[in-house]
Structure formats: C-alpha cells, structure tokens
Structure 1
C-alpha cells in the first residue's frame, strides 16, 4: 500500500508542484526515503535560505506519519538542533491516513512563516519569539545566512 500511495503522491507533486518546495526519492531504488528543499518564505526571516529536509516513510504509510526532519540548521522555536519538528500534523495521535505529503510540506512552509511558540521544542527560542521579535528576527536571519545560504 505504501509504495503505491507514495508513487501516486510523487506523481501528483510533480504535476502540481508547491511553490518554493521540491522533493524526490533519494534514489530510484527506495521510494520510502525522500529528500527535499524548502526555500525560505519571503515574508519570514528565513528569506533567501535553502532548507534541506529528510523524509522517511514506514511501510505502514499512510497509516503512520512520515519521519520528517530539517537537515539544515535553523533558528526556530518548533525545530530543534537535530532538525526534529514539532508540528501537530506529524504527531502520531494527530495523523490521519488521508493526510498527504503535500499537506505536510505546506504545513512546514506555514511553520516557517508563522512559528508556534505555544508548542515549542526550543523553549529559549520560543521565549525570545514571544518577548523580543527584533532579537528573534535578527537571530533567525543570522542563522539563515550562516547555515542556509544557497
């Protein structure tokens, strides 16, 4: 089931690409492991950055969410130093089999545009985001320039 579903989703993503996002299997022999890139949204401190993703699907997909992580360092309250992402859509108890990879990718773009300090992985960054937007913006831009420059 996972292989057929992923092939269909990949075909759909190629026919209907998401702006500033690209994904593909790492190689032709394993459709369960994808790599991706998100260009930092223009309306965010991540503008101009290229953020790499690692996406691993289990053979139980779509009944279990994929494991998604950023492999590019990013200054964000919902993404930790290892690239783990805190977004409701990817949590086991919130995942629905009808959710598609395109939904996941769009939610990650939205997360870059609108961090959620109420559900952080990085509490120190969430605190700065909530109390000192200028400092958050500067730190996020500095990280983007240092780690995510194309």
Structure 2
C-alpha cells in the first residue's frame, strides 16, 4: 500500500476494519485500485435475495474524478444497462471529492458510492434511464417489470445453487 496515495490507503484500511452490512469490497492483491464488490439485493425490493457482483476501479485522477463501477451479472433495472454501466449522478456530474467527508471524519468513499448503488436497487428511476427498454416497461407496467426483475434474481440464485450441487457431486 506504500505506492498508493495516503487517502486511498486509509480508505482501504477502514473498509477492511469496518465492513458495511450487505456490501463487501475486496481490493485485488496485484492492484489495490481494483475491487471485487458484492452487494446484497435490498429487502422489499425486486432484487431481494440477489447477490450482485460489481467491479470498482479508482482512476489515477481519484479523488478529483469518480470511481468507475459496473455490474458484472445480469440485472433488470432502468438505471443499469446490459453492459452493467450505472446511471447514478454521484458517479457522473454530481461527483465531488467532498462526498467522503462527514462531520469531520473520513467516510469511505466507496462505502458512500456502494450504499448509493444499493439504494438505487431499492428505488429504480425510470425517468432517468440508462436502459430505455427497461424504463419503458417500468413506466407502462411497473408490476410486470418488477416481476421480471425478481425472475432474473430467482433464476440467478437457482443457477448458483445448481452449480453448487453439481460442484459438490464432483468433489
């Protein structure tokens, strides 16, 4: 961690010491600017029961530039496109290095960003879409769009369970 800017090193240290419930972010051993992220789908949302994998990268310009984050697994959400890119203002034009300061204490920026992504799962916004077809579905028939989101989560979970059962039989 010696070659990293002090701020990033502090954030990584705090992230490891004080994990956020429902969110896990682990830096790569070979490049501490890259993180493997796991976010649990929030309760009482279409994504409840899901465990979403994301990648997070802190660019050289960080903290003046926002982190780069994207979903790696399929999700049916108006603010997340098929490539996993996320439409979230704090990852774009509302980004500010000041996001990490709260009441004089450091707040892990990734924690703020990742909590915001988790909150986005609870409150899809079809009026500011990245996936226009999903947003249209959400606007025209929200209950059906929610069912589609739940079906994808359920399929993903059952697929992982099947894989686990097959893996156990091989072992």
Same-fold status (TM-score > 0.5): yes
Matches within 5 A, 1:1-150: 3-27=5-29, 29-91=30-92, 93-99=93-99, 100-148=109-157
Q: How many residues align?
A: 148
SS at match of 2:125: coil
In structure 2, what is the Cα distance between the partners aligned to 1:13 and 1:85?
22
RMSD: 1.6
Bigger-Rg structure (1/2): 2
Return the structure number with greater helix share. Answer: 2
Structure 1 unmatched ranges of 5 or more: none
Which structure carries more relative contact order (alpha carbon 8 Å, separation 6+)? 1
Q: CA deviation at 1:148?
A: 5.0
Q: CA deviation at 1:37?
A: 0.2
1:21-73 deviation per Cα after TM superposition (whole angstroms, max 9, x unaligned) = 0001122x311111100011111111111100101111111111111000011
Structure 2 unmatched ranges of 5 or more: 100-108, 161-171
In structure 2, what is the Cα distance between the partners aligned to 1:43 and 1:17?
22
In structure 1, what is the Cα distance between the partners aligned to 2:94 and 2:157?
30
SS at match of 2:10: helix
1:78-135 deviation per Cα after TM superposition (whole angstroms, max 9, x unaligned) = 00000000000000x3210123111100100100000111110111211222231210
